[in-house]
């Protein structure tokens, strides 16, 4: 067991969110004192707020997880606000951490949405700049990718230490199930559960189902973040994934089976599929800080469904 975190102060922005709660819990279990700023008290899009936060907390590490996210529909409805809010939050935190005397290292979470639309599979970090992202994800993906450049030039000019991690699609207990912000797994779990309860004979699913995704269990992602916070020293981005690819159709069919919904799944090809394929090469994470995903997808999906069924009221809330 490492003693690295004993007594250290860590700020986890977004620490009350889906991934952030698990990261904060792991850090606390290792002996860290974790500060979790809330957006109602610390609007990181506003200049000066990040500096005041770090002056008040005096952390040795900043883990920046705060983000505004949603599914394809949300990305289509609010691309400008998604771009600007995510860009500003990361920009302000990176600069505040750079000038804060106590901060030794800043950890930034990117997104697989930053990769070009037609990236060769498996996605390798060197392909990040080889084309434009899939259109429905581009504003969010580009805002996140700008944080990588910001951190890299700060390291070159000022010596700022950072780690930049790119997880694939996250899922697990505590995910966002509200329709306005949910991604494919929580959205389909909620829909299949409700359709089963109502006795519906069929449900509509966006797209053709042929697009593929790679899903990463939230605990695995959190473990990678904690390890990289301590051990990773390069300025190059690092993929976090399982190296397993599954189509949207297979995903939804598996969810329906696990939930016990036996109605018809009707695919609507007039709706967007999003990026055609997603699977990343996670070799750098294992080589650099010894991380490998552990949770089998079917088992993680069962944990997620069981959590949703036991926490419906909480899961369905927007915030």
Domains of the chain with CATH codes: 9-316 (3.40.50.720)
d(CA 163, CA 108) in angstroms, rounded, equals: 6
pLDDT at 180 over 80: no
Tell me: the pLDDT tens digits for 188-227?
Answer: 999 999 999 999 999 999 899 999 999 999 999 999 999 9
pLDDT at res. 2: 76
pLDDT at res. 282: 98
**Per-residue confidence (pLDDT) for residue 68, from 0 to 100:** 84
pLDDT at residue 126 is higher than 90:
yes
Neighbours of 174 (CB within 10 A): 20
* Residue 91: other Cβ atoms inside 10 A: 18
| Distance separating alpha carbons of residues 212 and 208, to the nearest angstrom | 11
Catalytically annotated residue among 83, 140, 171, 308: 140
Question: For 269-301, what is each residue's pLDDT tens digit?
Answer: 999 888 899 999 999 999 999 999 999 999 999
Distance, CA of 156 to CA of 62 (rounded, Å): 19
CA angle, 118 then 123 then 125, to 5°:
115
What is the CB neighbour count within 10 angstroms for residue 318?
Answer: 9
- Answer yes or no: 140 catalytic: yes
Q: 3-class SS at 19?
A: helix
- Tens of pLDDT, residue by residue over 58-98, are 999 999 999 987 666 666 777 898 999 999 999 999 999 99
What's the pLDDT score for residue 139? 93
Token pair for 159: 């010596």
C-beta contacts of 313-317 below 8 A and 24+ residues apart: 315/175, 315/177, 315/186, 315/190, 316/177, 316/178, 316/190, 317/178
* Structure token digits, residue 16: 């009350």
The pLDDT of residue 58 is 98
3-state secondary structure at position 63:
strand
């Amino acid at each position: 067991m490492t003693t690295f975190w004993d007594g250290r102060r860590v700020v986890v922005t977004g620490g009350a969110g889906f991934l952030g709660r698990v990261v904060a819990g792991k850090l606390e279990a290792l002996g860290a004192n974790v500060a979790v700023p809330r957006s109602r008290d610390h609007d990181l899009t506003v200049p000066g707020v990040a500096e005041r936060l770090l002056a008040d907390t005096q952390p040795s590490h900043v883990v920046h997880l705060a983000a505004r996210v949603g599914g394809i529909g949300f990305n289509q409805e609010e691309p400008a606000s998604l771009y600007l809010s995510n860009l500003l939050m990361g920009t302000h935190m990176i600069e505040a951490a750079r000038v804060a005397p106590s901060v030794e290292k800043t950890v930034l979470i990117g997104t697989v949405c930053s990769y070009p639309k037609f990236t060769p599979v498996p996605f390798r970090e060197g392909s990040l700049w080889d084309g434009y992202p899939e259109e429905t994800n581009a504003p969010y993906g580009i805002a996140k990718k700008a944080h990588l450049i910001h951190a890299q030039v700060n390291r070159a000019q000022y010596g700022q230490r950072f780690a930049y991690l790119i997880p694939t699609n996250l899922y697990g207990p505590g995910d966002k199930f509200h329709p306005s912000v949910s991604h494919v797994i929580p959205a389909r779990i909620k829909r299949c559960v409700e359709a089963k309860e109502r006795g519906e004979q069929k449900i509509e699913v966006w797209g053709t189902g042929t697009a593929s995704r790679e899903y990463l269990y939230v605990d695995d992602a959190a473990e990678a973040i904690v390890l990289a916070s301590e051990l990773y020293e390069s300025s190059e981005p690092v993929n976090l994934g399982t190296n397993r690819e599954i189509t949207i159709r297979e995903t939804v069919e598996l969810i329906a089976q696990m939930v016990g919904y036996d109605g018809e799944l009707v695919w609507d090809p007039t709706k967007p599929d999003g990026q055609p394929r997603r699977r990343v090469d996670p070799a750098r994470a294992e080589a650099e800080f010894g991380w490998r995903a552990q949770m089998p997808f079917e088992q993680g999906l069962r944990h997620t469904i069981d959590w949703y069924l036991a926490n419906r009221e909480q899961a369905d809330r927007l915030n």
